[in-house]
Amino acid sequence: MEPFEYVVAMTSLILGLAMAQILNGIADMVSNYSRIKFSFSHTVMIVILFMVTLQDWWYSYQYSKHIEVWTFPTLMAILSFPIILFLEVRLLFPTGTRSQELDMDVYFYQNYRWIYTLFVITILISIAQNMYFSGYTLIEEIPLFIYAGVYLIFIFADFKNKLYHDVFMVAQLFVWLSFMILDPTTL
């Protein structure tokens, strides 16, 4: 077994857990459809994280070409994105003492800062990985810095207005769909 195959097995396992969390969360919400109060922003964030999970799984194959020597720090750098992504997905759905939560609006707006913070961390990890492993320049990463900056504005300005979050989620969804459709290396 090649080192890449060994590493990608662990990456796929963590991303598979994230995907299972998304699918379980959706199934739980659908099974309680008549009692759940859905949230537009929360629902769009689920779709976005679904796409990010798929995109990371797909993109991780690029590392077979970009990384020649596999070390433990390289492994940890590669695993950091799926680990943070899993934590973000886990926070997206009520579990534990909040597992009976039925109002997704309330749940999302009480937790959006943590969810957004983890998303910023994934963006920063992505920037570092793009530059270090894939050879992108700092200039090429400016759109991701802007993306992270918008998230930081939402985190620190403490926007409570649902319309702002809804517009932000729709804009992100549009960006992710455009990225996935227009960039042939994405899928």
Per-residue pLDDT tens digits for 52-70 = 999 888 888 888 787 888 8
> Which pLDDT does position 122 carry in this prediction?
95
What pLDDT is recorded for position 95?
Answer: 73
pTM of the model: 0.89
* Domain locations along the chain: 3-182
Predicted pLDDT at 146: 94
Q: What is the pLDDT of residues 119-142, one digit of tens each?
A: 999 999 999 999 998 889 999 999
Written as one string, the DSSP assignment of the chain is --HHHHHHHHHHHHHHHHHHHHHHHHHHHHHTTTT-B--HHHHHHHHHHHHHHHHHHHHGGGHHHH-SS--HHHHHHHHHHHHHHHHHHHHHS--GGGTT--BHHHHHHHHHHHHHHHHHHHHHHHHHHHHHTS---TGGGHHHHHHHHHHHHHHHHT---HHHHHHHHHHHHHHHHHHHHH-TTT-
Successive 10-residue mean pLDDT values, the chain, 187 residues = 80 94 92 89 95 88 81 90 95 75 87 94 94 91 93 88 91 86 63
What was the pLDDT predicted at 70? Answer: 85
